[in-house]
Structure 1
Amino acid sequence: MRLSPVFQHLLVFISVLSLSRVQTTAEIFYPFGSAAGDTNNTAADDGSSSVIQLLSPFPFFGRTYQQIYVNNNGHLTFNQPSSAFVPYSFPARGSQDVIAGLWTDLDNRQRGVVSYHQYTSGNVLTRATQDINTHFPNLNFTASWVFVATWDKVAYFSSTNTETSFQVILIADSNFSFILMNYGEIAVTGHPVQAGYDTINSTHYIVINGSNSGSSISNLRNSSNVGVSGRWAFRVDGGLQISEVNPTSSTTTVSTAILPVTAKPAPAIFYPFGSTAGDKSNPFDDDGSSSVIQLLSPFPFFGRTYQQIYVNNNGHLTFDKPSSLYTPYSFPANRSQDIIAGLWTNLNNNVRGVISYQQYTDGNVLTRASQDINTHFPNLTSNASWVFVATWDKVAYFNFSSTETSFQVVLISDGNFSFILINYGDIAVTEHPVQAGYDTVNSTDYFVIPESNNGSIISNLRNSSNVNVTGRWVFRVDSGQHNISKETETTNSTVIGFRVRIKSFLDLTNSTNTNTVLQQIKREMVKYGLPNSIELKLRKVQRINP
């Protein structure tokens, strides 16, 4: 006999530990909306502005434009409007120049406003001048014209409850021209997406990392190529060009984009490392590891406490034994070991780079760790008594000796609480399998850093964060993070309510069954970027006949 499915509604409240202040849209967005005197596009699916005559010529890779169109589907064109809601992939080698803030199937009839404004004087020009001279410090630039196009809380087609916000800003003086792209909240989508720019015949193009995957574009607000979360900046007048070749791609991609010249050294977020910090170095050995490292303080890790650790050359830490694995398994693996992966992949310090480690029980490093933890977890009072720093400095990938990848894994403990900081510097793209985050015995707790399992976009790790510090990911890993007391729940957590419709043969009025389902929901949410510290609490079950 075939059972009829039961449709039930679950109203679930999620408690998420608040790690830091979330950057608001206004911090990087230029003025927009009615208060800024914007002109609004017509609310029309796949519509566009009428032709906009520019108050100043805009040079764009060898062509100079006097007009522009703001298209509702998230892109700008110059010669004619575009109703295209399915973006083509860059490089398209087509017959038009296009600038895509986020080209996808948007619908401002249902929700949101698409608007634009141009400036030839005032505070916006002052701000643009400051921004360009910050991002491109070797130019003596004074903005004479700024054009701001904004998509404010616009819905996706057939998804009226979604909201997506971003800006495309054109900036010029008599010699130079630039694009800024600012990203606010970006909803995930199943529609095709594309962000960047493409020119006639694709002589110049850029695809913003991760912007062609609708399931990961929510991370755009945390990404950057100029160290400002949510902002991408490009010089587009066609001056001195930097050629970018991806040596690991099966199809060599050449982009002659003008990029900011502010190449970053090892970031300020890195803890001291190397010979000057007194580090011990791993052997120069492909797939090698450190010898066993006896910890100067026990380290609690999700219910187990460790007295030793191994730093493995391929980018991960293990506790019980060293690991020579160069191909990472996917988290959650439901295996029999605890593992912390800064960037687990096929690295080779036998060719380039140094892998080193050091532990501290006093001094400035403990002071810094205490400050960091109390900043990222403001509702805890923690004084670090032990810090372990493992650093992969400019290490090459196997078979790609010219590549350099740098990151750190920092373990911190005060005797009660324990934490992991993962700091990212320059991360080269790779075709090798990759994985970053952590996994525990039987995967009772695990975390995959978003986009860290895609080697073609991991260079964006240095711009990503879960604590609003560019390049840093922070996790509390003692077992206590799952137990938020009722007394502190309202101050230590953010409570979010949402409704879930579930097709199930289980009786969800039974507490055992509901706990099973809630754990399954939690695992799925963690896979898409929420921390393991979330708590799911059932508020209501409503049974509905099929």
Structure 2
Amino acid sequence: MGKYWYQQYTNGSVLTRATQDINRYFPQRGFTASWVFVATWDYVQSGDINVFNLHSAPAITFQVVLISGGGFSFILMNYGDCAEISSPVEAGFDTINSTDYYLIHYASNGSYIPNLKNTTNVNVTGRWAFLVNRGSAPEIFYPFGLSGDTRNAAVDDGSSSVIPLLSPFLFFGRRYQQIYVNNNGHLTFNQSSSQFVPFSFPAYEGQDIIAGLWTNLDNRARGVVSYHQYTNGSVLTCATLDINNHFPNLTFNASWVFVATWDKVAYFPNTSTETSFQVVLISGSNFSFILMNYGDIAVTGHPVEAGYDTVNSFDYFVIPGSINGSFISNLKNSSNVNVPGRWAFRVDSGHSTSKKYVIGLRVRISSVFDLTQYENIAILQQIKQELVKYGLPRNIELKLRKVQKITP
């Protein structure tokens, strides 16, 4: 039952719409679609068939759209009504040897797939969008590889020398005048770090740390670790636009940007791997922000960690999916600001033990996770970041109360 449709387009209104959609979801590319392929499964029934009533099988409606132009390739996955089924399911993409893959949330269990029409990674309910031409993810990166960049020495577990900051950086209430770029994927302020096994956040240590992708990297074999500071020019203009887009209701002007890039760096001792990511520090007036940009991330068996932690872990964040080396290739498709491959955080305000006021917030969340469990604390941190983005103070504390619905 149901219908299967497919059609290709090389001109007309479908290409116009595809161009508009892609430029909305993947800004700063100036994309123009030249080809679109649309495959639709319209009210198709699953294999859960009652042989006595063929019309009783659950029906599913969804669509896969392939879009290309100018060297870029994209996939849109659109979900309508998807009935609950008992058959095995999977939604996302995979590649030869699984060097790149992505599994959409709720898509591995037939009991949860009705939720697909309410999920998204681009703020359009029911739609998932992916950039899939290999090597193009660094389009979201800030400039690197320029003549003014400073490169770290190719040393196992090495670091930069102390870097005096051209403008102080406020990090959760502490003002820093210096920083270190460590080869193993993280930034520290008070001293360099050769630590290649990441602490698990929250670590409750006596240091502040920013982990783009903290793991056992080796720039002796492959890749470049570099950094660059800016106090004027087009990079500040770009940072100003990005922050005002990602954090609405702020009138922000960037006065300083620090860009640290790990470009195609190998894991130790696997010299054939390549991993690219970037940490961007941005400040202006009394505001401070971090952008973490992810390109192609190779899988690894090493312990990994991405996010940040503070002295005594009063403030910390772990990017979901970043603590398992088998899944980190998904980082270039994940985001908290609707820009695939980018995570953005406001980090200027510090933790406060005094509570000036209490805000009651009641939210209905449809989730397969128990948010009261310790291992799901990162989801609460992401909710906190969203609240801060829309105006709540950075030192708010989230406390979750588990309520059980009882049928009278």
Give TM-score scaled by structure 2 length: 0.68
1:446–1:117 Cα change, 3 Å = same
Structure 2 match to 1:222: 121
What are the Cα deviations for residues 177-229 of structure 1, in whole angstroms up to 9, with x where unaligned? xx966156999x9x98633589xxxx9999943458779x9898339xxxxx7
Match of 1:274, SS state, is coil
CA distance in 2: counterparts of 1:146 and 1:541, whole angstroms: 42
1:349–1:521 Cα change, 3 Å = same
Kept in 1, the 8 Å contact 2:9–2:35? The answer is: no
CA distance in 1: counterparts of 2:404 and 2:333, whole angstroms: 45
CA distance in 1: counterparts of 2:185 and 2:318, whole angstroms: 15
CA distance in 2: counterparts of 1:540 and 1:398, whole angstroms: 43
What are the Cα deviations for residues 9-28 of structure 1, in whole angstroms up to 9, with x where unaligned? xxxxxxxxxxxxxxxxxxxx
| AA matched with 2:41 | V
Kept in 2, the 8 Å contact 1:129–1:142? The answer is: no
Kept in 2, the 8 Å contact 1:195–1:208? The answer is: no
Kept in 1, the 8 Å contact 2:171–2:350? The answer is: no
| 1:304 matches 2:174 | yes
Question: 1:132-531 residue pairs with structure 2 within 5 A?
Answer: 146-149=39-42, 167-169=62-64, 182=77, 194-195=90-91, 208-210=101-103, 221-222=120-121, 230-231=128-129, 262-265=133-136, 267-276=138-147, 278-479=148-349, 496-498=362-364, 524-527=376-379, 530-531=382-383
CA distance in 2: counterparts of 1:185 and 1:448, whole angstroms: 32
1:213–1:300 Cα change, 3 Å = farther
Please list every run of 5 or more consecutive structure 2 residues that lacks an aligned counterpart in the other structure. Answer: 23-30, 45-59, 67-73, 366-370, 388-395
Alpha-carbon shift at residue 441 of structure 1 (Å): 1.1
The answer to which structure has the higher strand fraction is 1
Alpha-carbon shift at residue 495 of structure 1 (Å): 6.1
Q: Which has the higher contact order (CA 8 A, sep 6+)?
A: 1
Match of 1:283, SS state, is coil
Alpha-carbon shift at residue 480 of structure 1 (Å): 6.5
- Return the index of the structure with the highest Cα Rg: 1
CA distance in 1: counterparts of 2:189 and 2:8, whole angstroms: 61
| AA matched with 1:497 | V
Kept in 2, the 8 Å contact 1:466–1:473? The answer is: yes
Match of 2:312, SS state, is helix
CA distance in 1: counterparts of 2:233 and 2:18, whole angstroms: 38
Alpha-carbon shift at residue 118 of structure 1 (Å): 3.5
CA distance in 1: counterparts of 2:63 and 2:275, whole angstroms: 31
Alpha-carbon shift at residue 148 of structure 1 (Å): 2.5
CA distance in 2: counterparts of 1:474 and 1:541, whole angstroms: 29
Kept in 2, the 8 Å contact 1:449–1:529? The answer is: no
Kept in 1, the 8 Å contact 2:314–2:351? The answer is: no
Alpha-carbon shift at residue 382 of structure 1 (Å): 1.3
Aligned residues: 343
Match of 1:221, SS state, is coil
Q: What fraction of aligned residue pairs are identical, expressed as a percent? A: 52
Kept in 2, the 8 Å contact 1:168–1:180? The answer is: no
Match of 1:418, SS state, is strand
| AA matched with 1:358 | H
Match of 2:253, SS state, is coil
Give TM-score scaled by structure 1 length: 0.52
RMSD: 4.9
Match of 1:275, SS state, is coil
1:121–1:310 Cα change, 3 Å = closer
